[in-house]
Amino acid sequence: RFEKGRIYTFIGEVVVSMNPYKNLNIYGRDMIEQYKGRELYERPPHLFAIADAAYKAMKRRSKDTCIVISGESGAGKTEASKYIMQYIAAITNPGQRAEVERVKNILLKSNCVLEAFGNAKTNRNDNSSRFGKYMDINFDFKGDPIGGHINNYLLEKSRVIVQQPGERSFHSFYQLLQGGSDQMLRSLHLQKDASAYSYICPGAQIKCSINDGAEFKAVADAMKVIGFKQEEIQTVYKIVATILHLGNLKFSVDGDTPVIENGKVVSIIADLLSTKSDMVEKALLFRTVATGRDVIDKQHTEQEATYGRDAFAKAIYERLFCWIVTHINDVIEVKNYDTTIHGKNTVIGVLDIYGFEIFDNNSFEQFCINYCNEKLQQLFIQLVLKQEQEEYQREGIPWKHIDYFNNQVIVDLVEQQHKGIIAILDDACMNVGKVTDEMFLEALNNKLGKHAHFSSRKLCATDKTLEFDRDFRIKHYAGDVIYSVTGFIDKNKDTLFQDFKRLMYNSSNPVLKMMWPEGKLSITEVTKRPLTAATLFKNSMIALVDNLASKEPYYVRCIKPNDKKSPQLFDEERCRHQVEYLGLLENVRVRRAGFAYRQTYEKFLHRYKMISEFTWPNHDLPSDKDAVKKLIECHGFQHDVAYGKTKIFIRTPRTLFTLEELHAKMLVRIVLFLQKVWRGTLARLRYKRTKAALTILKYYRRYKVKAYIHEVARRFHNVRLMKDYGKHVQWPTPPKVLRRFEEALQTIYHRWRAGELIRSVPPEVLPQLRAKVAAMEVLKGHRADIGLQRAWEGNYIALKPDNPQTTGSFIPVANELKRKDKYMNVLFSCHVRKINRFNKVEDRAIFITDRHLYKMDPMKQYKVMRTIPLYNLIGLSVSNGKDQLVVFHTKDNKDLIVCLFSKEPSNDSRIGELVGVLASHFKRSKRALQVSVTNPVQCSLHGRKCTVSVETKINQSQPDFTKHRSGFILCVPGN
C-alpha cells in the first residue's frame, strides 16, 4: 500500500498512517466532498473518514469524542492533526455565520503560531513538536464550531540554551532573524546572522526544509487574525530578542566580585524588557536572600551566574509560550453559552503530542516524553484491547481471550506513589544539603534494583553500553532507552531565583508584568514549596488520560517507513517493530474476532425503532431486548448480531450502514409527517385567527359605516332651513369602503340643492339660466370670457340702446317672419360683420329663432339675405380669445363666417350667449350641436377648405377681415 501511495489503512475505527515524506494530492476540496457524511467503510481509508466518523458520532449521539494521534517523532502526527482540523472546518457552518467563521479561522491559524514557538528541527524531523497539544473544539447543537480550548504540555525549554548536534532551537529565533525587516532588527539590536548568538549558533548552519523568512510573515499575519494587538506582537519579538542577547553575556570574576564583561548587552536587555540596567545587572550577579528579618545580597560565582542566566532564558521562553496559548484560549473560549437556550454543547478533542523518542543522549525531557507515550499506550490498551474483551465476557458473548502486552507495569515503574522513579526523584530534590544526580541514581539502584524493566551499570556490571554513575535503562513498550541522569535534579527542581521574577514584574511593559504575577511577593514572604516539574507533568498526564477516557476515542497511529525521510524506502524491520509496540496486531485480532458496533438495547431502539412497524412509535413486547430482536429479524440481520445481557453487538459495519440508511429514509418520512401535522395545525390556527379577524373587521366596518351615516345626518340636519342649503357644510371623511357611496351621495345632494335653487328662480329667467349652463358645459376651460355675469337679453336688435335708429324697421320684419315661418321663440339677434367667398366684407345682422337662422341686411330695412334652417346647422366654431368670431357650419358646406359686434356697450362679449342659447335649444330638441374652440378656426366655403385666424392690432378701431393665402385673418383692436 505504501508503494502505491495508499498511506492510510483501517483497523476498525483505528487509522494506521504511514508518513509518505512527500506531498500527496489527497486533501483538496473534492476529496473532502467524497468523505462528507459518508460512513466509515464506504470510501477508501483516509484521515477524513475518521474525522467524519468522530464528527457524526458527536452530532448524532451528542457524545463527546476525541481523536488520539500517536506515533514516533517524525511519523507525521502534527500534519495529521492539521488535516483533521482542516476537514472539520470545511464541513461545518453551511450557513456562513460570521462568529463560527471567526472561530474556525482562529483554530486553523493557531497551529501556525504554536508551531513557530513550540516546534524545532531535530535529527528525526524538520518540524518536530517540542510540546504536547490537546485541543478541544466545542460545537453547538447544529454541529457548528463555537469555540475551543488548547492545553499545552511540557515545553522542552532546555532547547532554548542547548541543542544536540545536528539540531536547531525553536523556529521562532531563526524566523525573526531571517524574516524580520531591517528596521525591526535594528530596534531589537539584532543582526541577521544566527551564528552571532551563542544560544542558537550550533543550528545556524544546519539546512532545514522550513522557509524561515516566509514563515515569519505567515506567523505575523496569523497573530493579527487571532487578535494579538500590535504592541503585544512587538513584545513577543522583544522577548525572543532578549533571550538571544542573554546567551551572549560573558561572566568573569574580578577578585571575589563577579562581573559582566560585555556591559553594553545589559543595557540592550534592559531596554527590551522595559526596565533599568542596574536592576538587570543586579539580578544577574546577585541573589537576594532573606534570613529571618534580615535581607542580604549574596554574590554569585561565575558558575552560579551562568546557571541563573540560563534558567532565566528558559523561564522567559516558557512563560511566553504559555501566555500565547492563554491568549488564543481567551479569544476562542465559548462565551455566553446557555444549554437551555442553545442546546447541548458537545466536544471533539484532538491530541497531537510528542512521539516516543530515543536519542544518543536522552535526558529528563525524553524521560517525560516517553512516560507520556506509555500513558497513551496504556489508554489504547485499556479501551481497545482490555475493555473490549472484558465487555464480551461481561455481556455473556462467547469469546476466546487474545493475549497482549499490558504496559501498566512500566507506567507504575514511573509514576507509582513512593516507589516510582518520579517519587524517588522528588525525594532526592527535597533532601537538605547538596544533592547530586549520582546520589539520585544510587537511590534508583537501591529501590528498583529488582524491577524487570529497570537496569543500570551497577546492576549489570558487564553491560558496557551503560556508564557508571550516569546511565540507567528502562525497557519501554517501544524499546529499551538509556537515560543519562545528568541534569535530572536541576531540571526537576526547575529553580529560578526570585530576583528575576521581581525584575520582570516591575517592568513598565504591561504584557511582561502580566506574565510574572508571583513577582509581586516581597522578599521576606514565605511561599509554599512549588511542585516539581516531573510531578506537575505526571499530574497533567493523569488528567489528560482521564479526559480522553471520558470521550469516545478514535485513533490515528502514525508510522515512520524509514529513518532517512525517504519517500521510496520501506524499512521492513523498522515498521515491524512499530507495529508490534503499537499493539496493532493484537488490535487486528480483537477486531476480527469481535464486533464493530455495540449499543444498549434502550439507545439502539431509540435510534432505529422507526424502521420497524413492531417498534414504532412504541413497542408492546415484554422487554427492549425482545423488541430489538424483532426489529433485527424484520430486516434479516439476525446472522450478523449477538445479543448480550444489556447490549446488542453488530459484527460488520455493513449491517450498521444499512440500518443507518433505513433510518435516514424513514427520518425523511417522519419529518414530512411531522411537517404535515404541524402545517395543518398552523393552517387551522391561521384560519381561526383569520376568521376572528374578519369577524372583527365586519363589525368594525359596520360600525364605521353607521358612524359615517349618523355623522352625515347630524351635519346636514335642517339643511332646508340653511341659507345656502348646506353648501358651507364640510363632508366627513368616509371609510374606504364608502368612497363610491359618498360620491353618489354628494351627487344626489348637489342635484337636490340645484333643484331647490332652481325652484326659487322665476319661470321667465329659467331659459336664460339653462342657456348659461349649456354655455358653461361647452366653453368652460376653453374660453375665458363667456359673459355669465350679465343678463342675457337674446334679441339685441329689438332693443333700443343697441339699435336706436332702425329698431322700428326690424320689428315688423320679425313679425312677418313669425307669421310666415311660424316660429315660437326668438333665440338671438345681433349685428355682425361677415366675409363671403368673394372676400367681400359687409355689415349684416343675424336673427336666430327656434326654427331658422336669418342673415339680414340692416341697410335695406333688414331684408332677409339668406335663410338657414336650424336642422341644417351641424356645428359652431369659435376662437379661444376675447374676439367675437363665430363660424356656423352647415350640412351643404356653405359655412357662415361672422364677427359679432355691439354698439352699446361696445366691448360686450356675446359669444357665450350665442353658443349657450343654441346648445340649450339643441339639447331640448335632442339633437347634437358640435362646438369647437380653436385658433385658427377651420371652415368650408362652398366646399373649399379654409382657415380663419385672429390677430390683435393696436391701431385697429373695429374688427375687420382681411384676405390671407390660407383663408382669412380677423384683425381685432388691441386696447
Residues involved in catalysis:
73-74, 78, 125, 128-129, 355, 357
* 121, 128 contact by CB (below 8 A): yes
Q: 973's torsion region: left (phi>0), alpha (psi -120 to 50) or beta? A: beta
Write down the H helix ranges in 550-583.
572-581
C-alpha cell at 68: 488520539
- Which residues does residue 938 pair with via DSSP β-bridges, in sequence order? 947
- CB 767, CB 758: distance < 8 Å: no
State the Cα–Cα distance between residues 731 and 726, nearest whole angstrom: 10
Helices (H), 395-463: 408-415, 421-430, 437-448
CA distances 113 to 136, 210, 217, 684, Å, are 17, 14, 11, 58
Cell of 681: 395545525
Give the Cα separation of 579 and 587 in Å (integer): 10
> CA-CA distance, 34 to 31, in Å (whole number)?
5
**φ, ψ of residue 327 in degrees (nearest 5):** -60, -45
Angstrom distance (rounded) from CA 215 to CA 208: 13
Tell me whether strands 944-953 and 967-973 are parallel, antiparallel or unpaired: parallel
Q: Is there a contact between 316 and 519 (Cβ–Cβ < 8 Å)?
A: no
- Locus of grid cell 483501517: 10
Query: CA 242, CA 269: separation in Å to the nearest integer?
Result: 6
* DSSP single-letter state for residue 629: H
Buried-state track 564-575, b at ≥16 Cβ within 10 A, e below 16? ebeeeeeeeebb
The three three-digit cell numbers of residue 611, written as one number: 424502521
Torsion on CA atoms 747, 753, 754, 760, rounded to nearest 10: 170
* Distance (Å) of CA 639 to CA 632, 635, 712: 10, 11, 90
Give yes or no for a contact between 898 and 873, defined as CB atoms under 8 angstroms apart. Answer: no
- What span, in angstroms and rounded, lies between the C-alpha atoms of 970 and 972? 6
Bond into 734 cis (ω within 30): no
Upper half-sphere CA count for residue 250 (Cβ side, 13 Å): 6
The grid cell for 178 is 531571517
The rounded distance, in Å, linking the Cα atoms of 515 and 524 is: 22
Q: How far apart are CA 281 and CA 436, in angstroms?
A: 29
Of 772, 765, 775, 793, the closest CA to residue 929 belongs to 775
* Residue 469 main-chain phi, psi, to 5 deg: 55, 25
- Return the SS3 of 176: helix
For CA atoms 216, 222, 226, 227, give the dihedral sign. Answer: positive
| Measured distance CA(320)–CA(819) in Å, rounded | 132
Cell numbers standing for residue 259: 562581573
> Between vectors from CA 594 to CA 588 and to CA 597, what angle results, nearest 5°?
105
Secondary structure letter of residue 134 according to DSSP: E
Residue 493 CA to residue 239 CA, distance in Å, equals 24
| Cα-Cα-Cα-Cα dihedral sign, residues 178, 182, 188, 192 | positive
- 652-665 in b/e form (b: 16+ CB < 10 A) is ebebbebbbeebee
